[in-house]
Chains A and B, each alone.
Chain A
Amino acid sequence: MARTLKDLRPVYVVGVGWHRYQNPSDISYVTLGVTAIREALADARLEWPSVESAYIGTALLGMAPGRPMLRHLGATGLPISHIENASASGSTAFRQACIEVASGLSDVSLAVGVDKRNPVRRESTGVDHLAEDAIAQFTHFSLLTNEYAHRHKVSFEDIARVAVKNHRNGAKNKNAQRQRERSLEEVLGGKKVAGSLTALQCTPIGEGAAAAIIASEDGIRRLGLDGGRAVRVVSSTARSERVYDAGLGFDAVLTKETAALALAEAQISPKELDIIELHDAFTVEELHYIENIGLCPEGHGVHLLKEGALDIGGRCAVNPSGGLIAMGHPIGPTGVGQIGEITTQLRGEAGARQHPGARTGLAHMVGVGAVCYMHLLQKP
Protein backbone atom coordinates (compact mmCIF):
# COMPACT_ATOMS: atom_id res chain seq x y z
CA MET A 1 0.00 0.00 0.00
CA ALA A 2 1.15 3.53 -0.73
CA ARG A 3 2.61 5.44 2.21
CA THR A 4 1.50 8.67 3.86
CA LEU A 5 3.55 11.64 5.05
CA LYS A 6 3.55 10.20 8.56
CA ASP A 7 5.35 7.05 7.37
CA LEU A 8 8.29 9.18 6.20
CA ARG A 9 10.72 11.07 8.45
CA PRO A 10 9.19 13.84 10.63
CA VAL A 11 8.91 17.37 9.20
CA TYR A 12 8.50 20.63 11.08
CA VAL A 13 7.53 24.21 10.30
CA VAL A 14 10.43 26.30 11.66
CA GLY A 15 9.73 29.76 10.25
CA VAL A 16 6.73 31.73 8.97
CA GLY A 17 6.33 35.19 7.47
CA TRP A 18 4.00 37.43 5.48
CA HIS A 19 3.66 40.48 3.40
CA ARG A 20 0.31 41.91 4.49
CA TYR A 21 -2.64 40.96 2.29
CA GLN A 22 -3.99 44.20 0.79
CA ASN A 23 -5.95 45.85 -1.99
CA PRO A 24 -4.20 45.89 -5.38
CA SER A 25 -1.30 48.35 -5.41
CA ASP A 26 1.74 49.35 -7.50
CA ILE A 27 4.05 47.28 -5.27
CA SER A 28 5.83 44.62 -7.31
CA TYR A 29 5.25 40.95 -6.54
CA VAL A 30 9.01 40.71 -5.95
CA THR A 31 8.71 43.04 -2.93
CA LEU A 32 5.68 41.10 -1.67
CA GLY A 33 7.47 37.76 -1.96
CA VAL A 34 10.90 38.65 -0.57
CA THR A 35 9.30 40.49 2.36
CA ALA A 36 7.48 37.32 3.42
CA ILE A 37 10.53 35.10 2.87
CA ARG A 38 12.88 37.41 4.83
CA GLU A 39 10.37 37.47 7.70
CA ALA A 40 10.19 33.66 7.68
CA LEU A 41 14.00 33.36 7.61
CA ALA A 42 14.30 35.81 10.54
CA ASP A 43 11.58 33.89 12.41
CA ALA A 44 13.52 30.63 11.94
CA ARG A 45 16.87 32.37 12.63
CA LEU A 46 18.11 30.88 9.39
CA GLU A 47 20.28 32.19 6.54
CA TRP A 48 18.96 31.93 2.98
CA PRO A 49 21.84 29.72 1.68
CA SER A 50 20.69 26.98 4.10
CA VAL A 51 17.41 26.64 2.16
CA GLU A 52 17.87 23.72 -0.23
CA SER A 53 14.71 23.87 -2.37
CA ALA A 54 11.81 26.24 -3.06
CA TYR A 55 8.17 25.71 -4.04
CA ILE A 56 6.30 28.78 -5.25
CA GLY A 57 2.50 28.76 -5.06
CA THR A 58 1.07 31.24 -7.52
CA ALA A 59 -1.86 31.33 -9.92
CA LEU A 60 -1.99 34.79 -11.46
CA LEU A 61 1.60 35.86 -12.24
CA GLY A 62 2.11 34.00 -15.54
CA MET A 63 5.06 31.82 -16.47
CA ALA A 64 8.00 31.28 -14.07
CA PRO A 65 7.91 34.33 -11.77
CA GLY A 66 10.01 32.57 -9.10
CA ARG A 67 13.66 32.96 -10.12
CA PRO A 68 13.31 36.73 -10.88
CA MET A 69 12.06 37.10 -7.29
CA LEU A 70 14.34 34.67 -5.43
CA ARG A 71 17.57 35.98 -7.05
CA HIS A 72 17.27 39.05 -4.82
CA LEU A 73 17.89 36.84 -1.79
CA GLY A 74 21.17 35.64 -3.34
CA ALA A 75 21.19 33.26 -6.29
CA THR A 76 22.25 30.06 -4.54
CA GLY A 77 21.29 27.76 -7.41
CA LEU A 78 18.64 25.92 -5.40
CA PRO A 79 15.95 23.96 -7.34
CA ILE A 80 12.78 26.03 -7.90
CA SER A 81 9.32 24.66 -8.74
CA HIS A 82 6.16 26.62 -9.48
CA ILE A 83 2.87 25.22 -8.23
CA GLU A 84 -0.41 26.36 -9.77
CA ASN A 85 -3.51 24.77 -8.24
CA ALA A 86 -6.07 27.62 -8.17
CA SER A 87 -6.99 28.63 -4.61
CA ALA A 88 -5.05 25.63 -3.30
CA SER A 89 -1.77 26.72 -4.96
CA GLY A 90 -0.15 27.71 -1.65
CA SER A 91 -1.38 24.57 0.15
CA THR A 92 0.01 22.45 -2.66
CA ALA A 93 3.37 24.24 -2.58
CA PHE A 94 3.48 23.56 1.17
CA ARG A 95 2.64 19.87 0.64
CA GLN A 96 5.40 19.50 -1.96
CA ALA A 97 7.95 21.17 0.35
CA CYS A 98 6.89 18.81 3.17
CA ILE A 99 7.24 15.78 0.88
CA GLU A 100 10.69 16.97 -0.25
CA VAL A 101 11.91 17.18 3.35
CA ALA A 102 10.08 14.04 4.55
CA SER A 103 11.58 12.00 1.71
CA GLY A 104 15.09 13.14 2.65
CA LEU A 105 15.82 15.02 -0.60
CA SER A 106 16.17 18.29 1.35
CA ASP A 107 16.73 19.09 5.02
CA VAL A 108 15.30 22.59 4.62
CA SER A 109 12.70 23.66 2.05
CA LEU A 110 10.71 26.83 1.42
CA ALA A 111 7.03 27.14 0.48
CA VAL A 112 6.11 30.64 -0.57
CA GLY A 113 2.82 31.92 -1.95
CA VAL A 114 2.74 35.18 -3.85
CA ASP A 115 0.18 36.80 -6.15
CA LYS A 116 -1.12 40.05 -7.58
CA ARG A 117 -4.76 40.46 -8.62
CA ASN A 118 -4.53 39.74 -12.33
CA PRO A 119 -7.23 38.42 -14.68
CA VAL A 120 -7.76 34.66 -14.61
CA ARG A 121 -7.25 32.90 -17.94
CA ARG A 122 -8.56 29.38 -18.45
CA GLU A 123 -8.27 27.62 -21.80
CA SER A 124 -11.54 26.23 -23.18
CA THR A 125 -11.90 22.44 -22.88
CA GLY A 126 -14.17 22.38 -25.93
CA VAL A 127 -17.06 21.16 -23.76
CA ASP A 128 -19.62 23.97 -23.63
CA HIS A 129 -22.04 24.80 -20.80
CA LEU A 130 -25.52 26.28 -20.70
CA ALA A 131 -24.82 29.33 -18.55
CA GLU A 132 -21.31 29.16 -17.07
CA ASP A 133 -20.55 32.59 -18.55
CA ALA A 134 -23.29 33.99 -16.29
CA ILE A 135 -22.11 32.18 -13.14
CA ALA A 136 -19.44 33.92 -11.07
CA GLN A 137 -17.92 32.22 -8.01
CA PHE A 138 -20.24 34.17 -5.72
CA THR A 139 -23.22 32.86 -7.70
CA HIS A 140 -22.12 29.26 -7.13
CA PHE A 141 -21.92 29.95 -3.39
CA SER A 142 -25.20 31.84 -3.39
CA LEU A 143 -26.82 28.70 -4.83
CA LEU A 144 -25.17 26.72 -2.04
CA THR A 145 -26.46 29.22 0.56
CA ASN A 146 -29.96 28.85 -0.83
CA GLU A 147 -29.70 25.05 -0.70
CA TYR A 148 -28.23 25.00 2.83
CA ALA A 149 -30.76 27.44 4.28
CA HIS A 150 -33.65 25.50 2.76
CA ARG A 151 -32.42 22.02 3.74
CA HIS A 152 -31.53 22.87 7.33
CA LYS A 153 -34.17 25.58 7.97
CA VAL A 154 -31.47 28.10 8.82
CA SER A 155 -31.92 31.86 8.32
CA PHE A 156 -29.68 33.93 6.03
CA GLU A 157 -29.02 36.20 9.02
CA ASP A 158 -27.53 33.32 10.99
CA ILE A 159 -25.32 32.27 8.08
CA ALA A 160 -24.04 35.87 7.89
CA ARG A 161 -22.82 35.60 11.51
CA VAL A 162 -19.80 33.71 10.14
CA ALA A 163 -18.65 37.03 8.64
CA VAL A 164 -19.17 38.90 11.93
CA LYS A 165 -16.85 36.44 13.72
CA ASN A 166 -14.23 36.43 11.01
CA HIS A 167 -14.15 40.24 10.67
CA ARG A 168 -13.73 40.38 14.47
CA ASN A 169 -10.70 38.04 14.24
CA GLY A 170 -9.24 39.91 11.26
CA ALA A 171 -9.44 43.19 13.18
CA LYS A 172 -6.72 41.78 15.46
CA ASN A 173 -4.43 40.61 12.64
CA LYS A 174 -1.85 43.06 11.26
CA ASN A 175 -1.50 40.92 8.10
CA ALA A 176 -5.23 40.96 7.30
CA GLN A 177 -6.59 42.84 4.30
CA ARG A 178 -9.73 43.81 6.25
CA GLN A 179 -9.02 44.87 9.84
CA ARG A 180 -12.37 46.24 10.95
CA GLU A 181 -15.01 44.73 13.23
CA ARG A 182 -18.45 44.61 11.61
CA SER A 183 -21.87 44.26 13.23
CA LEU A 184 -24.46 41.84 11.84
CA GLU A 185 -26.38 44.87 10.58
CA GLU A 186 -23.34 46.13 8.68
CA VAL A 187 -22.71 42.69 7.16
CA LEU A 188 -26.34 42.29 6.07
CA GLY A 189 -26.74 45.89 4.97
CA GLY A 190 -23.82 45.93 2.53
CA LYS A 191 -23.97 45.68 -1.22
CA LYS A 192 -25.90 42.59 -2.36
CA VAL A 193 -24.10 40.43 -4.91
CA ALA A 194 -26.34 37.39 -5.37
CA GLY A 195 -29.27 36.09 -3.33
CA SER A 196 -28.63 36.89 0.32
CA LEU A 197 -24.86 37.21 -0.14
CA THR A 198 -23.51 40.67 0.59
CA ALA A 199 -20.02 42.03 -0.12
CA LEU A 200 -18.88 41.63 3.50
CA GLN A 201 -19.76 37.91 3.32
CA CYS A 202 -17.40 37.43 0.38
CA THR A 203 -13.62 37.34 0.31
CA PRO A 204 -11.93 40.45 -1.05
CA ILE A 205 -9.41 39.16 -3.60
CA GLY A 206 -6.23 41.17 -3.15
CA GLU A 207 -2.46 40.74 -3.22
CA GLY A 208 0.18 39.66 -0.73
CA ALA A 209 2.62 36.91 0.17
CA ALA A 210 3.17 34.24 2.80
CA ALA A 211 6.17 31.99 3.44
CA ALA A 212 6.83 28.87 5.50
CA ILE A 213 10.17 27.11 6.04
CA ILE A 214 10.04 23.35 6.58
CA ALA A 215 12.91 21.38 8.15
CA SER A 216 13.80 17.84 9.18
CA GLU A 217 15.16 16.91 12.63
CA ASP A 218 18.61 16.60 11.02
CA GLY A 219 18.26 20.11 9.59
CA ILE A 220 17.10 21.56 12.91
CA ARG A 221 20.08 19.98 14.72
CA ARG A 222 22.71 20.76 12.08
CA LEU A 223 21.66 24.41 11.73
CA GLY A 224 21.10 24.96 15.46
CA LEU A 225 17.44 25.97 15.03
CA ASP A 226 15.11 26.34 18.03
CA GLY A 227 13.32 22.98 18.23
CA GLY A 228 11.06 24.38 20.96
CA ARG A 229 9.32 26.65 18.44
CA ALA A 230 9.09 23.99 15.71
CA VAL A 231 5.60 22.70 14.89
CA ARG A 232 5.21 19.21 13.44
CA VAL A 233 3.25 18.49 10.27
CA VAL A 234 1.43 15.27 11.21
CA SER A 235 -0.50 14.74 7.98
CA SER A 236 -0.81 16.01 4.43
CA THR A 237 -3.83 14.93 2.39
CA ALA A 238 -5.14 15.88 -1.04
CA ARG A 239 -8.14 14.75 -3.08
CA SER A 240 -9.99 15.79 -6.22
CA GLU A 241 -13.65 15.70 -7.11
CA ARG A 242 -15.34 12.44 -8.20
CA VAL A 243 -18.85 11.92 -9.60
CA TYR A 244 -21.43 12.36 -6.86
CA ASP A 245 -25.18 11.74 -6.83
CA ALA A 246 -27.38 14.65 -7.91
CA GLY A 247 -28.08 16.87 -4.94
CA LEU A 248 -24.85 15.96 -3.12
CA GLY A 249 -22.76 19.11 -3.52
CA PHE A 250 -19.14 18.41 -4.35
CA ASP A 251 -18.09 21.19 -1.96
CA ALA A 252 -19.22 19.26 1.09
CA VAL A 253 -18.48 15.71 -0.04
CA LEU A 254 -14.93 16.44 -1.18
CA THR A 255 -14.10 18.06 2.17
CA LYS A 256 -15.67 15.12 4.01
CA GLU A 257 -13.58 12.56 2.10
CA THR A 258 -10.36 14.52 2.55
CA ALA A 259 -10.98 15.20 6.26
CA ALA A 260 -11.62 11.51 6.96
CA LEU A 261 -8.26 10.60 5.39
CA ALA A 262 -6.38 13.44 7.12
CA LEU A 263 -7.74 12.63 10.58
CA ALA A 264 -7.14 8.89 10.13
CA GLU A 265 -3.57 9.50 8.97
CA ALA A 266 -2.81 11.58 12.06
CA GLN A 267 -5.01 9.42 14.34
CA ILE A 268 -6.79 12.51 15.57
CA SER A 269 -10.53 12.88 16.22
CA PRO A 270 -12.37 16.07 15.20
CA LYS A 271 -12.92 16.83 18.92
CA GLU A 272 -9.16 17.25 19.38
CA LEU A 273 -8.95 20.13 16.91
CA ASP A 274 -8.18 23.42 18.69
CA ILE A 275 -7.72 25.54 15.56
CA ILE A 276 -9.15 25.26 12.04
CA GLU A 277 -8.15 27.60 9.24
CA LEU A 278 -10.54 26.86 6.37
CA HIS A 279 -11.64 28.16 2.97
CA ASP A 280 -14.38 30.64 3.95
CA ALA A 281 -14.39 32.58 0.67
CA PHE A 282 -18.17 32.87 1.30
CA THR A 283 -19.97 32.58 4.65
CA VAL A 284 -21.91 29.37 3.97
CA GLU A 285 -18.67 27.51 3.24
CA GLU A 286 -17.52 27.71 6.85
CA LEU A 287 -20.67 25.94 8.07
CA HIS A 288 -20.45 23.29 5.34
CA TYR A 289 -16.80 22.57 6.06
CA ILE A 290 -16.88 22.39 9.86
CA GLU A 291 -19.80 19.96 9.58
CA ASN A 292 -18.01 17.80 7.04
CA ILE A 293 -14.73 17.89 8.97
CA GLY A 294 -16.82 16.43 11.79
CA LEU A 295 -17.13 19.18 14.43
CA CYS A 296 -20.91 18.66 14.49
CA PRO A 297 -23.73 16.98 12.52
CA GLU A 298 -24.87 18.53 9.24
CA GLY A 299 -27.04 21.58 9.73
CA HIS A 300 -25.80 22.19 13.30
CA GLY A 301 -22.96 24.59 12.44
CA VAL A 302 -25.08 27.65 13.19
CA HIS A 303 -25.69 26.42 16.76
CA LEU A 304 -21.94 26.22 17.41
CA LEU A 305 -21.47 29.62 15.82
CA LYS A 306 -24.17 31.26 17.96
CA GLU A 307 -22.89 29.63 21.19
CA GLY A 308 -19.43 31.10 20.55
CA ALA A 309 -17.92 27.60 20.21
CA LEU A 310 -16.08 28.70 17.04
CA ASP A 311 -14.66 31.88 18.59
CA ILE A 312 -11.10 32.35 19.79
CA GLY A 313 -11.37 30.93 23.33
CA GLY A 314 -14.31 28.68 22.34
CA ARG A 315 -14.34 24.93 21.73
CA CYS A 316 -12.41 25.21 18.44
CA ALA A 317 -11.24 28.54 17.03
CA VAL A 318 -12.27 28.59 13.37
CA ASN A 319 -10.40 31.07 11.19
CA PRO A 320 -8.68 32.95 14.03
CA SER A 321 -6.65 34.77 11.35
CA GLY A 322 -9.87 36.30 10.01
CA GLY A 323 -10.10 33.66 7.29
CA LEU A 324 -10.52 34.42 3.62
CA ILE A 325 -13.36 36.84 4.43
CA ALA A 326 -11.24 39.19 6.57
CA MET A 327 -7.60 38.19 6.27
CA GLY A 328 -8.15 37.96 2.54
CA HIS A 329 -7.49 35.57 -0.33
CA PRO A 330 -4.66 36.65 -2.60
CA ILE A 331 -4.82 33.07 -4.10
CA GLY A 332 -1.19 31.82 -4.06
CA PRO A 333 -0.41 33.02 -0.51
CA THR A 334 -3.64 31.90 1.17
CA GLY A 335 -2.82 28.26 1.91
CA VAL A 336 0.69 29.09 3.13
CA GLY A 337 -0.70 31.89 5.31
CA GLN A 338 -3.03 29.38 7.00
CA ILE A 339 0.03 27.31 7.97
CA GLY A 340 1.62 30.49 9.34
CA GLU A 341 -1.43 31.28 11.48
CA ILE A 342 -1.66 27.75 12.88
CA THR A 343 2.09 27.67 13.62
CA THR A 344 1.83 31.02 15.43
CA GLN A 345 -1.17 29.77 17.44
CA LEU A 346 0.45 26.44 18.40
CA ARG A 347 3.59 28.27 19.53
CA GLY A 348 1.42 30.50 21.73
CA GLU A 349 2.66 33.62 19.93
CA ALA A 350 -0.64 34.91 18.48
CA GLY A 351 -1.01 37.80 20.95
CA ALA A 352 -4.54 39.26 20.96
CA ARG A 353 -5.71 36.41 18.69
CA GLN A 354 -4.26 33.62 20.85
CA HIS A 355 -6.55 30.63 21.35
CA PRO A 356 -5.68 29.33 24.84
CA GLY A 357 -4.12 25.88 25.03
CA ALA A 358 -3.92 25.38 21.25
CA ARG A 359 -2.16 22.10 20.53
CA THR A 360 -3.62 20.76 17.26
CA GLY A 361 -4.55 22.71 14.13
CA LEU A 362 -6.06 21.86 10.73
CA ALA A 363 -5.53 23.83 7.52
CA HIS A 364 -8.20 23.26 4.84
CA MET A 365 -8.28 24.65 1.34
CA VAL A 366 -10.36 23.96 -1.72
CA GLY A 367 -9.63 25.11 -5.24
CA VAL A 368 -11.47 25.28 -8.54
CA GLY A 369 -11.42 21.87 -10.18
CA ALA A 370 -12.40 20.95 -7.54
CA VAL A 371 -9.47 19.94 -5.37
CA CYS A 372 -9.16 19.80 -1.59
CA TYR A 373 -5.99 19.99 0.56
CA MET A 374 -5.58 19.46 4.29
CA HIS A 375 -2.65 19.65 6.67
CA LEU A 376 -2.69 18.78 10.36
CA LEU A 377 -0.12 20.48 12.58
CA GLN A 378 0.70 19.64 16.17
CA LYS A 379 2.85 20.98 18.93
CA PRO A 380 5.49 18.28 19.59
Chain B
Amino acid sequence: MEPTLLKPTLYTATGALLGGRCACGHVFFPMQTYGCEVCGRHGADLQPMTLTGCGRLLSSTVVHLHADKARTAPFAIGKVALDEGPVVRTLLVDPDREIAPGTRMVSRIVPIGDSTVDLRFALED
Protein backbone atom coordinates (compact mmCIF):
# COMPACT_ATOMS: atom_id res chain seq x y z
CA MET B 1 0.00 0.00 0.00
CA GLU B 2 1.24 3.50 -0.88
CA PRO B 3 1.98 5.55 2.24
CA THR B 4 -0.24 8.60 2.82
CA LEU B 5 1.30 12.06 2.57
CA LEU B 6 0.58 14.08 5.74
CA LYS B 7 0.16 17.33 3.77
CA PRO B 8 -0.50 16.41 0.10
CA THR B 9 -1.32 20.01 -0.86
CA LEU B 10 2.25 21.06 0.01
CA TYR B 11 4.55 18.43 -1.51
CA THR B 12 4.79 15.30 -3.68
CA ALA B 13 5.86 11.75 -2.78
CA THR B 14 9.30 12.50 -4.25
CA GLY B 15 9.88 15.56 -2.01
CA ALA B 16 9.16 18.32 -4.52
CA LEU B 17 7.37 21.34 -3.04
CA LEU B 18 4.15 22.62 -4.61
CA GLY B 19 4.82 26.32 -5.02
CA GLY B 20 3.59 28.96 -7.41
CA ARG B 21 4.80 31.74 -9.68
CA CYS B 22 3.14 35.06 -10.38
CA ALA B 23 3.14 36.77 -13.78
CA CYS B 24 5.30 39.44 -12.08
CA GLY B 25 8.02 36.83 -11.48
CA HIS B 26 7.52 36.39 -7.73
CA VAL B 27 7.93 32.76 -6.67
CA PHE B 28 6.06 31.69 -3.56
CA PHE B 29 5.23 28.65 -1.42
CA PRO B 30 2.73 27.10 -1.07
CA MET B 31 0.60 27.49 -4.19
CA GLN B 32 -2.43 29.76 -3.74
CA THR B 33 -4.56 31.93 -6.00
CA TYR B 34 -5.80 34.51 -3.45
CA GLY B 35 -3.28 37.05 -4.67
CA CYS B 36 0.43 37.82 -5.07
CA GLU B 37 2.12 39.30 -2.00
CA VAL B 38 4.33 41.49 -4.20
CA CYS B 39 1.98 42.90 -6.85
CA GLY B 40 -1.58 41.82 -5.95
CA ARG B 41 -2.27 39.92 -9.22
CA HIS B 42 -4.61 37.01 -8.58
CA GLY B 43 -6.42 34.04 -10.10
CA ALA B 44 -4.91 32.74 -13.35
CA ASP B 45 -1.92 35.12 -13.05
CA LEU B 46 -0.70 32.76 -10.33
CA GLN B 47 0.40 29.41 -11.77
CA PRO B 48 1.68 26.26 -10.04
CA MET B 49 5.45 25.82 -10.02
CA THR B 50 7.23 22.77 -8.67
CA LEU B 51 10.13 23.65 -6.38
CA THR B 52 13.05 21.22 -6.22
CA GLY B 53 13.38 21.06 -2.45
CA CYS B 54 17.03 22.17 -2.53
CA GLY B 55 18.24 25.20 -0.62
CA ARG B 56 20.53 26.79 1.92
CA LEU B 57 20.03 26.76 5.68
CA LEU B 58 19.54 30.21 7.25
CA SER B 59 19.26 29.01 10.85
CA SER B 60 18.25 26.02 12.94
CA THR B 61 17.30 25.28 16.50
CA VAL B 62 16.62 22.28 18.70
CA VAL B 63 13.30 22.64 20.50
CA HIS B 64 13.35 21.25 24.04
CA LEU B 65 9.73 21.97 25.04
CA HIS B 66 6.47 21.94 23.15
CA ALA B 67 2.90 22.51 24.37
CA ASP B 68 1.48 19.72 22.17
CA LYS B 69 2.13 16.45 24.01
CA ALA B 70 1.71 14.50 20.75
CA ARG B 71 4.88 16.15 19.44
CA THR B 72 7.73 14.77 21.48
CA ALA B 73 10.74 17.00 22.08
CA PRO B 74 13.52 17.32 21.25
CA PHE B 75 12.93 18.08 17.59
CA ALA B 76 14.78 20.44 15.27
CA ILE B 77 13.41 23.29 13.18
CA GLY B 78 15.27 24.90 10.30
CA LYS B 79 14.73 27.98 8.18
CA VAL B 80 15.69 27.15 4.61
CA ALA B 81 16.03 29.57 1.67
CA LEU B 82 14.96 27.46 -1.32
CA ASP B 83 16.99 27.83 -4.52
CA GLU B 84 13.91 29.24 -6.30
CA GLY B 85 13.52 32.05 -3.68
CA PRO B 86 10.92 31.24 -1.02
CA VAL B 87 12.01 30.78 2.59
CA VAL B 88 10.36 27.88 4.45
CA ARG B 89 10.40 26.87 8.08
CA THR B 90 10.53 23.12 8.34
CA LEU B 91 11.22 20.17 10.60
CA LEU B 92 14.71 18.70 10.17
CA VAL B 93 15.28 14.95 9.82
CA ASP B 94 17.90 14.94 12.57
CA PRO B 95 15.95 15.85 15.72
CA ASP B 96 18.69 16.88 18.13
CA ARG B 97 21.41 18.69 16.21
CA GLU B 98 21.81 22.33 15.17
CA ILE B 99 23.31 22.74 11.69
CA ALA B 100 25.58 25.62 10.70
CA PRO B 101 23.90 28.41 8.72
CA GLY B 102 24.91 28.31 5.07
CA THR B 103 24.81 24.49 4.84
CA ARG B 104 23.19 23.01 1.68
CA MET B 105 19.91 21.26 2.49
CA VAL B 106 17.52 19.00 0.61
CA SER B 107 13.97 17.78 1.23
CA ARG B 108 13.32 14.17 2.30
CA ILE B 109 10.11 12.20 2.64
CA VAL B 110 10.25 10.32 5.95
CA PRO B 111 7.85 7.92 7.69
CA ILE B 112 6.15 9.42 10.74
CA GLY B 113 3.75 6.60 11.61
CA ASP B 114 2.56 3.21 10.39
CA SER B 115 1.40 4.40 6.99
CA THR B 116 2.01 8.18 6.93
CA VAL B 117 4.98 10.10 5.56
CA ASP B 118 5.92 13.79 5.93
CA LEU B 119 8.42 16.14 4.35
CA ARG B 120 11.52 17.13 6.32
CA PHE B 121 14.87 18.66 5.38
CA ALA B 122 18.32 17.10 5.81
CA LEU B 123 21.93 17.80 4.81
CA GLU B 124 22.53 17.43 1.06
CA ASP B 125 24.38 14.15 0.27
Pick the contact of A128 from B7, B34, B79, B87 — CB < 8 Å?
B7
A128 vs B29: C-alpha distance when bound (angstroms): 9
Min Cβ gap B16→A in Å is 13
B37's nearest neighbour on chain A, judged by CB, is: A243
Asked if residues B81 and A247 are in contact (CB atoms below 8 Å), the reply is yes
Let me know if B125 is at the binding interface, CB within 8 A: no
Q: Which of A122-171 contact B (CB under 8 A)?
A: 126-136, 139, 142-147, 150-151
| Contact string against A for B residues 48-66, beta-carbon threshold 8 Å, 1 for contact and 0 otherwise | 0000000000111111111
Asked if residues B90 and A130 are in contact (CB atoms below 8 Å), the reply is yes
A262 vs B58: C-alpha distance when bound (angstroms): 30
Asked if residues A243 and B32 are in contact (CB atoms below 8 Å), the reply is no
Asked if residues B71 and A130 are in contact (CB atoms below 8 Å), the reply is no
The DSSP consensus for interface residues of chain B is loop
Asked if residues B66 and A134 are in contact (CB atoms below 8 Å), the reply is yes
Q: Which of B27-41 contact A (CB under 8 A)?
A: 30, 32, 34, 37-38
Asked if residues A139 and B71 are in contact (CB atoms below 8 Å), the reply is no
Asked if residues A144 and B59 are in contact (CB atoms below 8 Å), the reply is yes
Min Cβ gap A157→B in Å is 16
**Known interface pairs A139-B77, A146-B98. Does A131 touch B59 (Cβ–Cβ under 8 Å)?**
no
Min Cβ gap B88→A in Å is 6
Asked if residues A194 and B79 are in contact (CB atoms below 8 Å), the reply is no
A195 vs B79: C-alpha distance when bound (angstroms): 14
Min Cβ gap A159→B in Å is 13
Let me know if B10 is at the binding interface, CB within 8 A: yes
Let me know if B100 is at the binding interface, CB within 8 A: yes
Let me know if B119 is at the binding interface, CB within 8 A: yes
**Known interface pairs A128-B7, A134-B77, A150-B100. Does A195 touch B90 (Cβ–Cβ under 8 Å)?**
no
A127 vs B33: C-alpha distance when bound (angstroms): 10
Asked if residues B81 and A195 are in contact (CB atoms below 8 Å), the reply is no
Pick the contact of A247 from B9, B58, B60, B91 — CB < 8 Å?
B58
Residues of A with C-beta under 8 A to B38: 243
Asked if residues A130 and B91 are in contact (CB atoms below 8 Å), the reply is yes
Residues of B with C-beta under 8 A to A243: 26, 37-38
B119's nearest neighbour on chain A, judged by CB, is: A130
Residues of A with C-beta under 8 A to B1: none
Pick the contact of A146 from B37, B89, B90, B101 — CB < 8 Å?
B101
Let me know if A246 is at the binding interface, CB within 8 A: yes
**Known interface pairs A131-B89, A132-B89, A134-B91. Does A150 touch B59 (Cβ–Cβ under 8 Å)?**
yes
Asked if residues B62 and A195 are in contact (CB atoms below 8 Å), the reply is yes
| Contact string against A for B residues 69-100, beta-carbon threshold 8 Å, 1 for contact and 0 otherwise | 00100010101010001111111000000101
Let me know if B68 is at the binding interface, CB within 8 A: yes
B26's nearest neighbour on chain A, judged by CB, is: A243
A143 vs B79: C-alpha distance when bound (angstroms): 8
Residues of B with C-beta under 8 A to A246: 58, 81, 85-87
A102 vs B98: C-alpha distance when bound (angstroms): 51
Let me know if B44 is at the binding interface, CB within 8 A: no
A244's nearest neighbour on chain B, judged by CB, is: B87
A246's nearest neighbour on chain B, judged by CB, is: B81
Asked if residues B63 and A194 are in contact (CB atoms below 8 Å), the reply is yes
Residues of B with C-beta under 8 A to A194: 61-65, 77
| Contact string against A for B residues 1-35, beta-carbon threshold 8 Å, 1 for contact and 0 otherwise | 00000010111000000000000001000101010
Let me know if A193 is at the binding interface, CB within 8 A: yes
Min Cβ gap A291→B in Å is 17
Of residues B7, B66, B85, B86, which shows the largest number of chain A Cβ atoms within 10 Å of its Cβ? B66
Asked if residues A147 and B59 are in contact (CB atoms below 8 Å), the reply is yes
Seen from chain A, the residues whose Cβ lies within 8 Å of a Cβ on chain B are 126-136, 139, 142-147, 150-151, 191-195, 243, 246-247
6 A-B pairs with least C-beta separation? A195-B61, A246-B81, A147-B59, A142-B61, A146-B59, A143-B59
Seen from chain B, the residues whose Cβ lies within 8 Å of a Cβ on chain A are 7, 9-11, 26, 30, 32, 34, 37-38, 58-68, 71, 75, 77, 79, 81, 85-91, 98, 100-101, 119
Known: A134-B91, A194-B62. 15 other contacts (CB 8 A): A126-B32, A127-B30, A130-B7, A130-B89, A136-B67, A143-B60, A143-B77, A146-B101, A147-B101, A193-B65, A194-B61, A243-B37, A246-B81, A246-B87, A247-B58
